[in-house]
Structure 1
Amino acid sequence: MKILYVGDDWIGSNARSLADGFRQAGHDVVVIDTTAVTLPTRFSPSWLYAKTKQRRAPWPREQVHHQIEDAARAFKPDMLFTYKGVHLDQERLLGVPAPVRVHYSPDDVGNPYNTTPEYLAHEAQWDLVVTTKRHNVPELTARGARRVKFVRSAYDPAWHRPCAKRGAQQYLVGFIGARRPDRAGLITRLAKEHGDKLLVHGPGWRRIPALQAGHATVGGAIYGDRFAAAVASVTANLVLLNSDNRDTHTCRTFEIPATGGLFVGERTDEHAELLTEGSECLLFSDEEELRDILQHCARHPDRAEQIAAAGHRRITTEAHRYVDRAREMVDEL
């Protein structure tokens, strides 16, 4: 198929990985980068406009739509595939000449933060709506979506693979992900308990003084090789879910074991389906259980390595790459 792919194209983004997944599946893919609309540079005119008006600036959106329409005329796609295009002009997207139009959302579309009124008004006109949240399927159907497909998140072997550490420090516990209210308390308490044995990377964590006071190593967002190196330096890699998305799995569910890290995550049905508790991952339902797991990892690092290796084999030998998800969606069509 000839696929006109509309989504963020910055290095390390899941949208870029999925676009490459379609290419790896044998399709001809042209990517239109939407980063200027979805993630405007901090303190840029577009960023300031979005902060004050609570909507995306019109001028980068207009530029993106011109690129889409120019590419469609030259490329004549069989499919328009839009990765979380809720901030784009829906009428113009749906007017792109392509036999099939697909909208993909990596987040909970039941959360108003992940949609817009304009998108919701046009949702029923998409030929296929794809969600990574199983609970969204009946909700989307009830909202009038023509056809709905659930696919799980995935990992990208280009980035998520075992690699050597970039330093001699070995942390007992680590978390890579954005600061959120439902995570901040746990991470702060872990800093008090484990001090310099805790590694935290992601947006917002540097603004918590208690982490620095506890001597935890704290850094910003990391992607690609830096992500893999950070995972390698941690014995127990936390997989924390987003309660606003009602997550029962997340991208880290696949990325951590694919990178060779020990998966220590929240206990959900989906996590239990994907990895065998006790031999391929370690799951917890509360902080007391997590503390027991961390104590066990500290006392038995060799066993932690064995579980990590088994989790890596399970995830990487099953169909959990972005190319596999691309094939699932094409098969649906």
Structure 2
Amino acid sequence: MNKVLIVGQALELGRTEEVYGRGFSALGCKVQHFTWKEAAPSLVSRSLPDRVAWRLAWKLLAKSANQKLVEIANQFKPDLTLVISPLLFHPDSILALKQHGLVFVFFTDNPVDAHHTHSNSWVQRGFPLWDAAFIWSQELVERLVENGVKRAFFHPFCSDVEYHFPKRQANPIYDVAFIGNWDASRKREQYLKAIADYRLGLWGSSYWNTHCKEPTLKNLCQGMCSYQEIPEILGSAKMGLNILRPQNEEGHNIRTYEIPATGTLMLSERSRELMNLFAEDKEAVYFSSPNELRQKVEYLLQNHALIESIAQAGYKKALEDTIINRVKEILTIHETINQSHSNQYINVG
């Protein structure tokens, strides 16, 4: 039995660290979680005092939390450590955990851009130390290698079929449903504005009401939804809308799988990576501009049979990429690297 230590920000339902924990457990692994939220609450708190403390002393706070992490690892002795988004992970901790087993990282954001929520000096210094790195964009795989990562793998997001499944309404009350927060790029505003006169359902943070500048979208947002509510919300619409954040335009996002996994047609912003995952006009429908989005919505609403056929094909495709599949891929790579190390040891001996 493999012992797996999963390091992440928080252990909440639907977060990557929680989903992967369930996946490893389902395959018989003994799983232990370490979260920054529990080890150093001020590092992930959004209160004003904690945010000030973050800016002034995040490295000091994080180093203390890293010491706790190493102590837990020394007790648990994991065969594999999987780190989800390593912003707070000190490079020395990678070396310390390697004393027990392989140390992998899953970059859920783009670690080679300049945004402070995606990367920092620790992340960059850690690049050559990971035994393997996983990311959701093939293009970013190549850039990781260019930045010193020894083994980088394309690792798409996945379907969580335990919580996301078809819950279709016989008579959907929305033409299009969008689950997603307001984005400072305002790109999402422009896309939603283009279809605001259709029956549009919108869920996300209060920023839609306080920061959105499009009058047609004011007070449209119904607030945040829980992870468990996603199937019911998408089941209440004829189509589920996916608009990529700027940092995901080189790949895809988790909504890529959440929508088709509920048996809902995915109407998504076009990206090369996404079209490789779900075939255009067969398993999903794509757009690249607000005008094209409006045209696609208008056309699809006049062709209900097409909506159903694409939704069903997308659903079948989503079932091919579950968390179990993703964890199996990680365990296969873990075994391959371990075998490679063993062969090197034999050859040297």
TM-score, normalized by the shorter chain, greater than 0.5 = yes
Q: Give, in angstroms, the shift of residue 232 of structure 1.
A: 1.0
d(CA) in 1 for partners of 2:81, 2:201: 41
Match of 1:103 in 2: 105
Q: Give, in angstroms, the shift of residue 74 of structure 1.
A: 2.3
10-19 or 270-279: bigger deviation? 270-279
User: Do 1:82 and 1:102's aligned partners in 2 also have CA atoms closer than 8 Å?
Assistant: yes
Q: Give, in angstroms, the shift of residue 254 of structure 1.
A: 1.1
| Equivalences, count | 325
Unaligned regions of 5+ residues in structure 1, if any?
none
TM-score, length basis structure 1: 0.87
**Secondary structure of residue in 2 paired with 1:173:** strand
Q: Give, in angstroms, the shift of residue 117 of structure 1.
A: 0.8
Superimposed CA distance per residue, residues 172-206 of structure 1 (whole angstroms, 9 cap, x where no aligned partner): 11211222215333245136433xx1112223322
User: Do 1:32 and 1:67's aligned partners in 2 also have CA atoms closer than 8 Å?
Assistant: no
Root-mean-square deviation over aligned CA pairs: 2.6
Q: Give, in angstroms, the shift of residue 238 of structure 1.
A: 1.1
1:200 counterpart (195, 202, 205): 202
Match of 1:175 in 2: 178
d(CA) in 2 for partners of 1:213, 1:268: 27
d(CA) in 2 for partners of 1:223, 1:90: 34
Q: Give, in angstroms, the shift of residue 111 of structure 1.
A: 1.5
User: Do 1:124 and 1:144's aligned partners in 2 also have CA atoms closer than 8 Å?
Assistant: yes
d(CA) in 2 for partners of 1:221, 1:209: 16
| Structure-2 change in CA distance of 1:133 and 1:278 (3 Å) | closer
Matched, 1:241 2:244: yes
Match of 2:188 in 1: 184
d(CA) in 2 for partners of 1:168, 1:57: 53
TM-score, length basis structure 2: 0.83
d(CA) in 2 for partners of 1:139, 1:289: 31
Q: Give, in angstroms, the shift of residue 68 of structure 1.
A: 2.1
Match of 1:115 in 2: 119
Segments of 4+ in structure 1 off by > 6 A?
Answer: none
Match of 1:273 in 2: 276
Match of 1:28 in 2: 30
Matched, 1:40 2:44: yes
User: What amino acid is the match of 2:137?
Assistant: K
Q: Which has the higher contact order (CA 8 A, sep 6+)?
A: 1
2:152 counterpart (135, 148, 151): 148
User: Do 1:4 and 1:79's aligned partners in 2 also have CA atoms closer than 8 Å?
Assistant: yes
Matched, 1:136 2:140: yes
Q: Give, in angstroms, the shift of residue 3 of structure 1.
A: 0.9
Match of 1:255 in 2: 258
Q: Give, in angstroms, the shift of residue 67 of structure 1.
A: 4.1
Superimposed CA distance per residue, residues 29-58 of structure 1 (whole angstroms, 9 cap, x where no aligned partner): 1111223569723326423423x54x7374
Match of 2:323 in 1: 322
User: What amino acid is the match of 1:154?
Assistant: C
| Structure-2 change in CA distance of 1:22 and 1:99 (3 Å) | same
Q: Give, in angstroms, the shift of residue 124 of structure 1.
A: 0.8
258-267 or 93-102: bigger deviation? 93-102
138-147 or 214-223: bigger deviation? 214-223
Superimposed CA distance per residue, residues 16-40 of structure 1 (whole angstroms, 9 cap, x where no aligned partner): 1122222222221111122356972
Q: Give, in angstroms, the shift of residue 121 of structure 1.
A: 1.6
